[in-house]
Amino acid sequence: MVSVLMPVYNAVATLPQAVASVRRQSYRAWELVAVDDGSSDDSGAVLDQMAAEEPRLRVLHLPHQGLVPALNAGLESCRGDWLARFDADDLMHRDRLHLQRRAAFAGVLGCGVRCFPMAAIQEGFARYELWLNSLRTHAEIERDLFVESPLAHPSVMLPTGLLRGVGGYRDCGWPEDYDLWFRLWRAGTKFAKLPEVLHYWRDHPGRLTRSGEAYRRAAFRECKLEHLLATRLRGRQRLVLWGAGEGGKVWSRLLERAGKEIAWLIDIDPAKIGGRLRGAPVRGASSLADRRDELVLVTVGVRGARELIRAALNEAGLRETDDYVCLA
């Protein structure tokens, strides 16, 4: 059986559509665990009414504590061997559970996503959707893990025991899903995505990822830093940063705070080459020839630049994830 875990907070306007998309699933062996996180609207009553008509819908009513406690309470109540995440303002394709369950993937399996309503989607979010859908294999997802969260949380399915095995969700002041991907990756979990668009991701101004403190850009960077220090930077003291712009400034400060030494920075801007950033020299790309075993961190976020830098590093004989890592 697949347990669909759906946290709910003040979602009365979208709940009926969301639940209806679960009830329309071609895969029938599911339960929907809806966790009402102390909603101040009629979400709880609407859920109870729908549960009276649908025996596979189970409702947990909690005092308002926030998303992470709601997710963990729901996880504890899930009875299926497989868990599919879902949000109360989104929609499922009718074959999503069937196709993900049929894959029987022992790790985290996402799918293609489409953001809606189209008229409200801004350019940045549209680019994020394209980027998400371009990452399908474990190698692709792992490669970009430190760039941005590479999976849409409400689109994934994974073995319930896998999620419980890493302790469920954590509230660390940064995105709980991004933190989860890192912890699962560090535990050796594989990631993949089905190419089909099976999840419809609603964008609106009130979405938690737009308004919550844990989803600020600085919080994402703190999450990356914690896991970067525990993995790619473990045992490495001297680093080289590619990018002396805003990203390089931010990451220089964060890494220095963590006790790391920035040997030098690389940039292609003649106006920056020869200068210094936080005491470290800024040099041209030819300085790669002076590299010994320093890890190169690519901090350039300009659209298209990351792929050009990847190509230059690969041509220089560096191996991604071993010799260099892209982050943002």
The CATH number linked to 48 is 3.90.550.10
Residues of the chain above pLDDT 90, percent: 92
**pLDDT higher than threshold 90 for residue 120:** no
**pLDDT higher than threshold 90 for residue 204:** no
Rounded mean pLDDT, 67-71:
98
Same domain (yes/no): 176, 71: yes
**What is the Cα–Cα distance from 18 to 3, expressed in whole angstroms?**
15
**What is the Cα–Cα distance from 17 to 92, expressed in whole angstroms?**
10
Rounded mean pLDDT, 25-46:
98
Confidence of residue 207 (pLDDT cuts 50, 70, 90): low
Same domain (yes/no): 122, 57: yes
Angle, nearest 10°, between helix axes 246-257 and 217-230?
Answer: 50
Same domain (yes/no): 21, 139: yes
**What is the Cα–Cα distance from 223 to 174, expressed in whole angstroms?**
6
Is residue 314 situated within a structural domain? yes
The amino acid sitting at 158 is: L
**The model scores a pTM over 0.85:** yes
271: domain range? 232-326
Last residue in a domain, options 171, 186, 217: 217
Is residue 311 situated within a structural domain? yes
Rg (CA), the chain: 22
**pLDDT higher than threshold 70 for residue 210:** no
